[in-house]
Amino acid sequence: MKTRITELFDIEYPVILSGMSWVSTPELVAAVSEAGGLGILATGTLSLDDVRAGIKKIRELTDKPFGANVTLYFPGAERNVEVLIEEKVPVVNYSMGKGDKICEAVHAYGGKVVATVTNAKHALAAQKSGADALIVTGHEAAGHGGKVTSLVLVPSIVDQVEIPVIAAGGFADNRGFQAALALGAEGISMGTRFMASAESPVPAVLKEKAAGARVDQTLYSPKIDGIHARMMVTPGSKRLASRPLNPLAALIKSRRIAEMMGFSWPKLAAGIMLSGPENAFRMARMALGFDAFEKGMIDGDLDRGVLPLGQVAGLIHDAPPVADIIRDVVGESPA
């Protein structure tokens, strides 16, 4: 199967693993790449040493192309970008920020850059910055999807850019894959479908809940981590979405996050306060959300934690191996 995406990344199938914090680990990344897709390592919650170790582990597990992502909105993202460049990661995926310097540095060693966007303005800016492709994320997606559904968003951006588009948000089977191609995309990115896979590191109870969810069992709120995000409806997500911000709790949580990621907490806190009240409140919500993500995605505690989940969970009913998922999505499963 050939599209501009398979040729760009030198992969067999135009199927991408979304870079999901706590989920897109080296093992899952390697499994997707080995199966012919493109695995993307999530670096947003990793320290510099963890990023380097993750890249090394992926290279031990596979010699196939892989990528790593950076959410430029997160504290410490610039440092992680430097590591990805130093390690010459084949594909760098960025979101929520300007990518011109990233494109220049990655292209210098022959790598490729993919920008994740949720609207045409950011898509055109990414193309101008030098991005080689776009991941266009619709409203249905887990985490930070856009305001417009994939059915409308994808073709609207395809019509405005020249670089290839990868559709994200609402894709989990061959029907969705074929629909994405019909909309003008040249590949798909999946998060929820790969989260519910045999190689996924999330607790089995979460895979069962994801596979048993209905399409209407998610909520979309800016109160989870400071930006509109989609989560499974759980006691933890409903609590976070309904309660007012607790600045003291956020301050306490931010100190632990800084220590875990190797930051100077006073310097981090000062930088956030100087960035203005709007960003400070957003970062405070992120600190609380970070803690809830950990409780949910690592401990499997959905009474206190949260689980990012796309609406497409309502179409998922099992957790097979990654290779089977990819073959099924592209229509190559045994009859």
Q: What is the 3-state secondary structure (H, E, C) of 56-69?
A: HHHHHHCCCCEEEE
Averaged over 262-270, what is the pLDDT?
60
Whether 81 is covered by a domain: the verdict is: yes
- Please state at what angle helix 277-297 crosses helix 235-242, rounded to 10 degrees: 170
Q: Residue 119 pLDDT > 70, yes or no?
A: yes
Q: Residue 177 pLDDT > 50, yes or no?
A: yes
Q: Residue 232 pLDDT > 50, yes or no?
A: yes
> What are the tokens at 131?
């991005």
150 in the same domain as 24: yes
Detail the DSSP E strand segments found in the chain.
15-17, 39-42, 66-71, 91-95, 112-117, 133-137, 165-168, 188-190, 218-221, 229-232
230 in the same domain as 190: no
Number of other residues whose CB lies within 10 A of the CB of residue 239: 14
Torsion of CA 164, 3, 156, 161, to 10 degrees: 30
Q: Residue 265 pLDDT > 70, yes or no?
A: no
**Whole-number Å distance between alpha carbons of 318 and 305:** 23
DSSP letter (8 states) at residue 280: H
**Whole-number Å distance between alpha carbons of 149 and 159:** 16
116, 94 contact by CB (below 8 A): yes
Averaged over 102-128, what is the pLDDT?
97
Averaged over 149-173, what is the pLDDT?
97
Tell me the pLDDT band of 51, cut-offs 50, 70 and 90. very high
Averaged over 242-270, what is the pLDDT?
61
CA proximity to 24, closest of 63, 60, 58: 58
> What are the tokens at 102?
């990233």
Q: What does the H/E/C string look like for 125-141?
A: HHHHHCCCEEEEECCCC
Whether 242 is covered by a domain: the verdict is: yes
Tell me the pLDDT band of 288, cut-offs 50, 70 and 90. low
> What are the tokens at 103?
């494109």
326 in the same domain as 288: no
Whether 18 is covered by a domain: the verdict is: yes
pLDDT given for residue 264 in this prediction: 63
Its domain, for residue 226, covers: 218-297
Query: Which CATH number fits the domain that encloses residue 195?
Result: 3.20.20.70
Comparing 114-118, 128-132, 163-167, 234-238, which segment has the lowest mean pLDDT? 234-238
Whether 307 is covered by a domain: the verdict is: no
pLDDT given for residue 26 in this prediction: 97
Averaged over 191-199, what is the pLDDT?
95
CA proximity to 25, closest of 44, 6, 12: 44
161 in the same domain as 24: yes
pLDDT given for residue 272 in this prediction: 55
Q: Residue 273 pLDDT > 60, yes or no?
A: no
pLDDT given for residue 333 in this prediction: 63
Give the range with max mean pLDDT: 30-39, 280-289, 307-316: 30-39
268 Cβ neighbours under 8 A, 6+ residues apart: 75, 254, 258
Averaged over 44-59, what is the pLDDT?
93
Sheet holding 66-71, edge to edge: 15-17, 188-190, 165-168, 133-137, 112-117, 91-95, 66-71, 39-42
**Whole-number Å distance between alpha carbons of 227 and 259:** 23
Whether 48 is covered by a domain: the verdict is: yes
pLDDT given for residue 258 in this prediction: 60
Whether 125 is covered by a domain: the verdict is: yes
275 in the same domain as 231: yes
Number of domains in the chain: 2
Rounded mean pLDDT of the chain?
88
Torsions phi, psi for 306 (to 5 deg): -130, 160
325 in the same domain as 187: yes
264 in the same domain as 120: no
266 Cβ neighbours under 8 A, 6+ residues apart: none
- Please state at what angle helix 100-108 crosses helix 120-129, rounded to 10 degrees: 40
141, 310 contact by CB (below 8 A): yes
What's this model's pTM, rounded to 2 decimal places?
0.88
182 in the same domain as 59: yes
Q: Residue 230 pLDDT > 50, yes or no?
A: yes
pLDDT given for residue 334 in this prediction: 54
Whether 303 is covered by a domain: the verdict is: no
DSSP letter (8 states) at residue 257: H
31 in the same domain as 159: yes
223 in the same domain as 124: no
Whether 308 is covered by a domain: the verdict is: no
Torsions phi, psi for 104 (to 5 deg): -60, -45
Comparing 11-15, 31-35, 133-137, 266-270, which segment has the lowest mean pLDDT? 266-270
pLDDT given for residue 222 in this prediction: 81
167 in the same domain as 82: yes
> What are the tokens at 238?
């409903």
Averaged over 184-197, what is the pLDDT?
96
321 in the same domain as 200: yes
Averaged over 1-30, what is the pLDDT?
96
Q: Residue 335 pLDDT > 60, yes or no?
A: no
